[in-house]
Amino acid sequence: MTYLEFKDRMQQFPVFSVREIKKHFPGFDNRRLVEWQEKGYIQKLRNRYYRFTDFQVNESYLFYCANSIYSPSYVSLESALSIYGFIPEGVFQITSCTTLKTNIFETPIGHFSYRHLKPSLFFGYHLQQWDDHYYAIAGPEKTIIDYLYLNSDVESYEAFESLRWNAAEMLSRISIKTLNAYVNHIGSKTLTSRVNLLKKYVNANT
C-alpha cells in the first residue's frame, strides 16, 4: 500500500486513529506511520491519533480535534466563553469537559485541556456543523454552569468583577429560564449561590 492509497481512503477523517486505520486496512503495518511522520505527511496528536499535515488548522478544526482525541468530550469553559463573547480576551488553549479523567495534551497544533464532569452533568451541548463534519460545544447557559461548577474560587461578587465578564453580551445571549432549569436539575446549593451572584453582577452591569 502506498501513502497516496492510504490518504485517498483516510482523508475523509480530519483526525484518524490507529483503530480507524485498521478498520479500513486490516493488517496495517504501524511502521508506515513513523515513516510518514518523518516525511512530514502526517502529525501525531497524541498516542494513536494522527492528522494529515496539509489539513488547514483553524478554530473549528481545533474544536473538532478536541472532541476526537479525548472522547466523550465537548468544548466548554474558557474556549466557549470566548466564542460567545462573554470574556474579553482570546484563549490560547482549547478547553473541554469530559466524563473521563481530567487531562492535558500538548500537540503540534495546540494545547488541549479537559476537565472531568460526572456523567449526570454531561449535558447542555449541541453539535455545530463545520464543513461536512460536526463538533460538540456547550450552549451559552451550560458553558456558564460548567465554569461556575468547576471553579470554586468564584464565590463572591468581587470575584465576578475580577473576571470582567461581558454582562451585556450575557444578557443578550442567555436564557434565564434555561439557566435556572440547569441549576435546578443539578441541585447544588453552592452552584445556586454562584449563579445568583452572576445574575446580580449582570443586572448591575447592564
Cα(12)–Cα(132) distance, integer angstroms:
9
Residue 58 pLDDT: 95
Q: What is the pLDDT of residues 14-59, one digit of tens each?
A: 999 999 999 999 999 999 999 999 999 999 999 999 999 999 999 9
pTM recorded for the entire structure: 0.95
pLDDT tens track for 165-183: 999 999 999 999 999 999 9
The mean pLDDT value for 196-206 works out to 93
> Confidence class of residue 11 from pLDDT cuts 50, 70 and 90?
very high
Q: Quickly state the pLDDT bin for 64 (edges 50, 70, 90).
A: very high
pLDDT at 78 over 80: yes
pLDDT above 70 as % of the chain: 100
Compute φ and ψ for 41, nearest 5 degrees: -80, -35
Domain definitions of the chain by residue range: 3-52, 59-204
